[in-house]
């Protein structure tokens, strides 16, 4: 068979891949908002399929955990709760910690749990991470209603003071918590997709991280220790302490701690988005 050789200079068309525009790709997310809503609906339905009490687990999980923590850490271990009723103290910490932990875990597994979808059809992969964030935010909203119901009981029985002016910061600290989980989760998702052993290490580290967060103790417990700087460097510390200050303690968190948390969270978020967008195609080739 005779083959025709074509010299390079005879080419009329040369096809190159389109140069990726980072900001244009982020803008694509808005055009896929319907997909985002469908993913949120799917996650909500799948979460409680084949369960007996279904969505009521959203209410029971923080309440049961609060009861166990009140028994172990307050009554048995005698850890002070800064004069706050133990139920409200632990419930406030548990709700915010669970929100962070659930968002982080969902985001860090997006490559491993969605590999089949990612390899078949194109859409901005970041939407899956955002859908996890929205789904967990809905659960958070329901659990906050539980907290407000318990808080209302203690307020009407005059066991706690009325909310302070810091209550307007609550939406901001909840958003900060979600963005912290999103940024850290995106970074870890790339690493765990390449190195599966890291998944076990991160799960173990997440359990330890809870004890570096004021869930079962207050900031006053570490105020006189040399580790208080590291304690406040954790973005969840000003988030939980501000939430408790808004409803229960009336003492504002120092602005410097809040500012450092905001800077750290946005640094993590930008790093996570950049790393995720840069590595998503390479990761899909190896999973």
Tens of pLDDT along 7-24?
A: 555 666 666 656 666 666
Give the orientation angle of helix 86-108 with respect to helix 170-194, to 10 degrees. 40
Let me know: does 92 contact 247? Beta carbons within 8 Å. yes
Is the predicted pLDDT of residue 109 greater than 80, yes or no? yes
For the entire predicted model, the pTM comes to: 0.88
Instruction: List pLDDT tens digits, range 254-274.
Output: 888 899 999 999 999 999 999
Rounded distance between C-alpha atoms, residue 143 and residue 70, angstroms: 18
Tell me the torsion sign for CA atoms 215, 218, 221, 223: positive
Residue 109, SS3?
coil
Domains in the chain: boundaries: 33-41+56-285
Is residue 4's pLDDT more than 70? Answer: no
pLDDT at 1: 45
């Amino acid at each position: 068979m005779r083959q025709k050789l074509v010299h390079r200079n005879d080419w009329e068309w040369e096809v190159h891949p389109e140069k990726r525009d980072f900001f244009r790709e982020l803008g694509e997310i808005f055009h896929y908002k319907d997909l985002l809503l469908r993913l949120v609906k799917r996650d909500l339905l799948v979460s409680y399929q084949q369960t007996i009490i279904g969505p009521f687990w959203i209410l029971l999980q923080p309440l049961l955990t609060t009861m166990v923590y009140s028994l172990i850490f307050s009554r048995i271990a005698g850890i002070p709760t800064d004069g706050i009723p133990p139920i409200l103290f632990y419930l406030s910490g548990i709700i915010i910690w669970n929100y962070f932990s659930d968002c982080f875990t969902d985001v860090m597994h997006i490559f491993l749990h969605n590999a089949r979808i990612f390899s078949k059809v194109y859409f901005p992969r970041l939407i899956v991470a955002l859908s996890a964030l929205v789904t967990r935010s809905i659960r958070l909203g329901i659990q906050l209603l539980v907290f407000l119901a318990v808080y209302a009981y203690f307020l009407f029985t005059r066991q706690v003071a009325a909310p302070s002016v810091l209550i307007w910061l609550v939406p901001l600290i909840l958003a900060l918590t979600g963005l912290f989980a999103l940024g850290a989760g995106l970074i870890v998702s790339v690493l765990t997709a390449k190195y599966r052993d890291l998944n076990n290490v991160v799960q173990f580290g997440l359990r330890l991280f809870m004890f570096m967060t004021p869930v079962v103790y207050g900031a006053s417990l570490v105020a006189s220790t040399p580790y208080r700087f590291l304690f406040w460097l954790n973005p969840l510390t000003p988030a939980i302490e501000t939430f408790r200050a808004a409803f229960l303690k009336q003492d504002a968190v120092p602005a410097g701690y809040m500012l450092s948390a905001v800077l750290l969270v946005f640094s993590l978020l930008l790093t996570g988005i950049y790393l995720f967008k840069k590595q998503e195609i390479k990761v899909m080739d190896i999973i």
